[in-house]
Amino acid sequence: MVKFGVHLPQVAVDYDTVKSVALECERVGFHSVWLTDHLLPILGPAQQSYLECWTTLSALAERTANLRLGTMVLCNLFRHPPVLAKMASTLDVISRGRLELGLGAGWFKTEFDSYGLPFPKASVRIAMLREALEVIRKMWSDEKPTFQGKYYSINEALCNPRPIQKPNPPIWIGTLKGGKLMFETIARYADGWAVGSWYLPSINEYKQKMEQLRFYCSEAGREFGSLKKALGVGCILAENRTKLDEKTKKFRPAQVSIEKYETTQTQICGLPDECVEILRKYVDAGVDHFMMDFPDVTDLETIRLFGDHVIPFLK
């Protein structure tokens, strides 16, 4: 079954707005909502407010009942992995088993510099991510979890209460253009592979990446079919062509024509039936989760339109 999630707004919004979007997603049948994990806005003025991922997700755990609650993705270097394992276990208990834990190596150097955080080279960040994943899984499963690595160590770091989900909350790792090290990490440690919504790969490009990942799964002795596949999709959706053109004019860069913006490969611009047609091609290619990124997500009509006229035709 194909599942749909929504990236919630975090920049220049208050919590009540985030909550209202999440509750509407739950009402119209979305499977999950997702938050990004940054300390500063990636685009636009740095002075804009940016709600922190984990505390916002914790608040939503209490306000929602059925939605899966995901992080796409937490930056490993922001939180000490043994502490994160404890935090995640607690949130899984509070949410009654609804956590989806996305974890990444970190990439936005500006926020590291601003907050005085070390930013080692990529190979080191990935090595730290691997150790972090080992620590987290041990703390979720072992009676007396112990680990000694190059970057992290634990000594009978008890994690009670344990997560509700068995064997563990799903762990997602996101990358499309990542190379050998990231694909090896996904094959060895992840329950799911996610591609972010910054760029919508062509069907052929996506299939090529899947074949690469299939190879690394084989090298790790892992069944490729056991890995969930998620695709982030930027989407401008409208009920008719007139409204679609209005939205396109609002969100497109000034130097890009409407026609080019609506046909660009980086996102979907269309009516519900057009959106269904495009998404179905990715389903046929192997995608089983979509994480939708709507630029007008705070307009609840967009959420309702997708829930009523797209989701039912792709389940």
Nearest Cα to Cα of residue 73 among 44, 100, 113: 100
What pLDDT score does 18 carry? 98
Helices (H), 116-195: 122-141, 180-189
User: For tokens 């939205």, what's the residue?
Assistant: 247
Residues 57, 91 contacting (CB under 8 angstroms): yes
The mean pLDDT of 6-10, rounded to a whole number, is 98
Alpha carbon distances (Å) from 210 to 180, 194, 228, 231: 13, 11, 11, 12
CA 73, CA 172: separation in Å to the nearest integer?
8
CA dihedral over 206, 211, 212, 216, signed as positive or negative: positive
What pLDDT score does 14 carry? 97
What pLDDT score does 40 carry? 95
- Segment 158-204, tens digit of pLDDT: 999 999 999 999 999 988 676 899 999 999 999 999 998 778 899 99
CA 164, CA 94: separation in Å to the nearest integer?
9
Strands (DSSP E) along 207-284, which ranges?
Answer: 228-237, 268-270
What pLDDT score does 175 carry? 81
Q: Which residue has the higher pLDDT, 111 or 252?
A: 111
Q: Would you say residue 6 has pLDDT above 90?
A: yes
Amino acid identity, residue 177?
K
The mean pLDDT of 99-120, rounded to a whole number, is 97
3-313: CATH, from 2.60.40.10, 3.20.20.30, 3.30.70.1450, 3.40.50.970: 3.20.20.30
Three-state DSSP class for residue 72: coil
- Segment 278-304, tens digit of pLDDT: 999 999 999 999 999 999 999 999 999
User: For tokens 């960040």, what's the residue?
Assistant: 125
Q: Which residues contact 147 (CB under 8 A, 6 or more apart)?
A: 131, 134, 135, 138, 153, 154
Q: Looking only at Cα atoms, what is the longest distance across the chain?
A: 62
Residues in the chain: 315
Three-state DSSP class for residue 155: strand
